[in-house]
Amino acid sequence: MMRSLVTAVVLAAMACLLSLTTGVTTASAATACEVRGHQDDISEIAKSIVANACGVTDAGTWYTWTGGHGAKPGQTYGAIDWSDKDKSKFDPIRRGFDCSGLVRWALSEAYGYDIAGSPGLTNNIYGLYPPGSQRFGAEAGLDPLLPGDILFWGKPGAIHHVAIYLGAGKMVEAKESDTLLMVSDFRMGAKNDYAGALRMAPKANPPGGSPGGTGSIGHATWGDSLNVRAQPNTGSSVVRTIPGGTSVFISCQAHAQSITAEGTTNDAWSYLPDLGGWITNIYLKGPAWVPDVPSCGDVPSGGAGGGGSGAAHVTWGDSLNVRAQPNSGSTVVTTIPGGTSVVISCQAHAQSITAEGTTNDAWSYLPDLGGWITNIYLKGPAWMTGVPTCGGTGGSTGSGIAHVTWGDSLNIRSQPNTGASVVRTISGGTSVIISCQMHAQSLTLEGTTNDAWSYVPDLGGWITNIYLKGPAWVTGVPTCASV
């Protein structure tokens, strides 16, 4: 989500990213929102992405904090950004988008379904990699970019801004509260934290069409809360939960664990690369074996393809720690078994590890798990083929710091008190980005009394510090503006 000098929507330090003077977009800037050159070099998908974003920009749409993150893509009313209450005070009565809400909507209109998924936050968009996509590292700069490419700032797991490239050094973005969507000059960022770009795959066929052996889009789920799992069985970890009625991209399907649910028995499971996991075909509308979707082949470990950024790779060994930073001294965000199929967004050279008779300094970032794993425990070469280099080594950035929750079901609330509405419920052990903290309602829980609450921008709400691992007042996190 966009955070800036004026709004500091992730935290005040992220404001250094923005070196341009901000303000309401002028009419001339709005009319300049268009593909700039390369008309013959870009896909229809890229043209559509730009046209969608420019359409709402030209219409004078507002930036609104948390805008565009409803159950379906589209403009929503915003919320107050407590790190800059004054600038965002009108956001709750303005319909519009924040940075990732805008990109989520532009992508959904281009592809015909919500490819980023709900809630479609910056890290969700960064983790996308439909077959046929391309990634470009930050070190490449502008040279390889084409109109329609998706631009990112931050680090894996802590992406804090996203925009759409127009060409000729320009981009369209939802920048900050109290401004309209705008066309801006491309910027590397004051902290040089431009994280690279994603060129989305060209649209090969309409929803439900023949995949030509590469998968198929536009399949609808049904039911209530549906678990997408790391493996094609109910004993594996849940990587995502989606509502019934979600349109999903299927890359392939396989015969695996037989499930009986809703009066039906079926052993077919489909792999959803955009979500990084498997769903039983029982909850896909249509026949038991989805027409025109190829077989994944033999998937004893739950894998579904490989090679390339965002592809599924398989771990080995016993209990494997996924860490907040690419080193063995950092916090463990989760532990997974060997044989788990994981999605890798990028890899980096960091702490050198010696284990299992091997020494390696390469670590891979797992966006679905929010952390890093040494490449020693990934099947394949020491440096993963086809996986790009990360634009940094993760962890804290100007946009916030990754921390880990504990406990059972934890409520994220719209205000820092227990009387406020619950905007999200998360499990203990979740890695979260904190933008700021403040003293508010005092709670006594788990034998502890604490009045500190932390704001979690990617979830759009507050959590008591009692359920954050670490001290009562989180070290290194700034104080929010008063509520």
Predicted confidence band at 98 (pLDDT cuts at 50, 70, 90)? very high
Non-local (6+) Cβ contacts of 275 within 8 A are 117, 228, 239, 240, 242, 248, 368
Please compute the mean of the pLDDT values over residues 275-301 and round it to a whole number.
Answer: 76
Is it the case that residue 50 has pLDDT exceeding 90?
Answer: yes
Residue 386: predicted pLDDT = 65
All structural domains of the chain with their residue ranges: 12-199, 312-377, 401-467
pLDDT band at residue 131 under the 50/70/90 scheme: low
Q: What φ, ψ does residue 100 adopt, rounded to 5°?
A: -75, -30
Cα-based torsion angle of the residue sequence 340, 343, 348, 349 in order, rounded to the nearest 10 degrees: 20
Per-residue tokens: 79: 């919320």
Topology of the domain covering 401-467: SH3 type barrels. (2.30.30)
Q: Cα 181 vs. chain centroid, distance in angstroms?
A: 21
Task: Please list the helix, strand and coil fractions of the chain in percent, rounded to the nearest 5, in that order.
Answer: 15, 35, 50
Return the CATH number of 12-199, one of 3.40.50.10800, 3.90.1720.10, 3.40.50.300, 3.40.50.1000.
3.90.1720.10
Question: Same CATH topology for 312-377 and 401-467?
Answer: yes
pLDDT tens readout for residues 302-322: 333 333 334 457 788 888 998
- pLDDT grade for 203, boundaries at 50, 70 and 90: low
Omega prior to 202 cis, within 30 of 0 = no
Provide the whole-model pTM. 0.45
193 vs 154: CA distance, rounded Å: 5
Mean pLDDT of 84-95: 90
Between the alpha carbon of residue 34 and those of residues 37, 99, 144, 169, the distances in Å are 9, 18, 19, 12
- Given a cut of 70, whether residue 219 has pLDDT beyond it is yes
Query: Which segment of 13-17, 50-54, 285-289, 444-448 scores lowest on mean pLDDT?
Result: 13-17
- What is the topology classification, in CATH, of domain 312-377? SH3 type barrels. (2.30.30)
Q: Which helix (H) or strand (E) holds 52?
A: helix 44-58
Burial of 336 (0-12, 13-18, 19+ CB in 10 A): buried
394 contacts 451 by C-beta, under 8 angstroms: no
Average pLDDT of the residues in 72-96:
89
Mean pLDDT of 208-232: 64
Mean pLDDT on 75-91: 88
What is the pLDDT averaged over residues 417-441?
81
Q: Is beta strand 95-97 parallel, antiparallel or unpaired with respect to 62-63?
A: parallel
CA nearest neighbour of 433 among 451, 471, 469, 459: 459
In this predicted structure, what is the pLDDT of residue 332?
A: 81
* pLDDT at residue 198 is higher than 70: yes
